[in-house]
Amino acid sequence: MTTDDLRSAALALAERALELPELARARTVAAYVSVGAEPGTPALLDALVARGVRVLLPALLPDNDLDWGAYAGEGSLAPVQHGGKTTLLEPAGERLGPDAVAGADVVLLPGLAVDARGVRLGRGGGSYDRVLTRLAARGATPFLLVLLYDAEVVEHVPDEAHDRPVQAAVTPSAVRRFTAARP
């Protein structure tokens, strides 16, 4: 995809996601800052903040777990390089702890694909699996949403017992809702 294609897709994703009733009524959204050619999140993050939504963004910990910090616009981010991994934009302010995500009404998850059951394929680091396990252990039930390109909604992805399905996927052209096959 060209830079213009990526920008257009990001704007379409933001527009579609902002139409979701779950995001319209959310007071707190846990999200992430997209990297590389991932479906872009900055326009969506800024629109949520403009609506008065508290947006939490992750900070990667040395054990691949996630801490959280508040997003207050592009100026509230700092580039952080984690070992030999890619540089991530993370919240520059106060860290709120790994449990801060439990207060989110909606959790936006990164992914490589999602299947017809709502099973999300991540990048394999386990960071978001830990987040979802933590949420389940606390009895928190936020709306789980993944942002993808159209071709990344597929028939089947491999899953494991700990995988938790998402309720919806937003692509530049559509919103797809899923009925979770298992809790």
E strand or H helix at 7: helix 3-18
Residues 6+ apart with CB under 8 A from 84: none
127 is in an annotated binding site: yes
Closest CA to 57 of 77, 39, 75, 38: 77
123 is in an annotated binding site: yes
71 is in an annotated binding site: no
d(CA 65, CA 141): 19
128 is in an annotated binding site: yes
149 is in an annotated binding site: no
126 is in an annotated binding site: yes
DSSP 147-163: E--GGGB-S-----TT-
111 is in an annotated binding site: no
103 is in an annotated binding site: no
Q: Are 174 and 150 in contact (CB under 8 A)?
A: yes
Q: Write out the two tokens for 89.
A: 């934009």
73 is in an annotated binding site: no
d(CA 58, CA 91): 7
* Residue stretches of the annotated binding site for ATP: 120-128
Known binding-site positions for substrate: 33, 38
- Which residues are part of a known binding site? 33, 38, 120-128
